[in-house]
Amino acid sequence: MTTAPRITGVDFVTLPARDFDESFRFYGETLGLRFRTRWGSMPAAEFQAGNLTIAIMEPTAFGQEFAPHRVPLALQVDDVAAARAHLESLGVRFVSDLIDSGVCHQAIFLDPAGNALDLHHRYAPPTAV
């Protein structure tokens, strides 16, 4: 019997880019995420979002088919309405109204490649399980 590997964390999540340069500008300039590194000369780069590294890459350059993520990646903000207003002023397209789930506020938008992203703010303490 083999032992399962001990997973100690997540190093990064990857989002597909249709146009790497456009996505690079979006994550670095529009969202204001800190650039970390390029993947050599390949159309891929990493940005830091708090404790999560987001890698953007053109999948076709790596032999994969392009398909945007439809389930949103939630990005934590202090004020969803204010963050939404700022991004809308920069031309970002939102695909939902403000959502109040009873524990958090959210607003879903798309990056240039059509990946779903979510402004998210939890206002209620997490429940114990």
Which residues neighbour 39 within 8 Å (Cβ) at sequence distance 6 or greater?
A: 45, 46, 55, 57
| Structural domain contains residue 18 | yes
Does residue 45 sit within a domain?
yes
The answer as to whether 43 is a domain residue is yes
Domain containing residue 38: 13-122
- CA 117 to chain centroid, in Å, comes to 5
In a domain, 102, yes or no: yes
pLDDT of residue 128: 60
Residue 81 forms part of a structural domain: yes
What are the pLDDT tens digits along the chain (129 aa)?
788 999 999 999 999 999 999 999 999 999 999 999 999 999 999 999 999 999 999 999 999 999 999 999 999 999 999 999 999 999 999 999 999 999 999 999 999 999 999 999 999 987 766
**pLDDT at 2 (0 to 100):** 82
Query: Is residue 95 in some structural domain?
Result: yes
Would residue 6 count as lying in a domain?
A: no
Residue 129 belongs to a domain: no
Which CATH number is 32's domain given?
A: 3.10.180.10
Confidence at residue 129, expressed as pLDDT on a 0 to 100 scale: 61
Paired with 106 in beta bridges are 99, 120
C-alpha to C-alpha distance for 53 and 48, rounded to whole angstroms: 5
Count of the separate structural domains present in the chain: 1
Asked if 77 contacts 83 with a C-beta cutoff of 8 angstroms, the reply is yes
The b/e string for 74-91 (b: 16+ C-beta within 10 A; e otherwise) is: bbbbeebeebbeebeeee
Q: How high is the pLDDT of residue 126?
A: 77
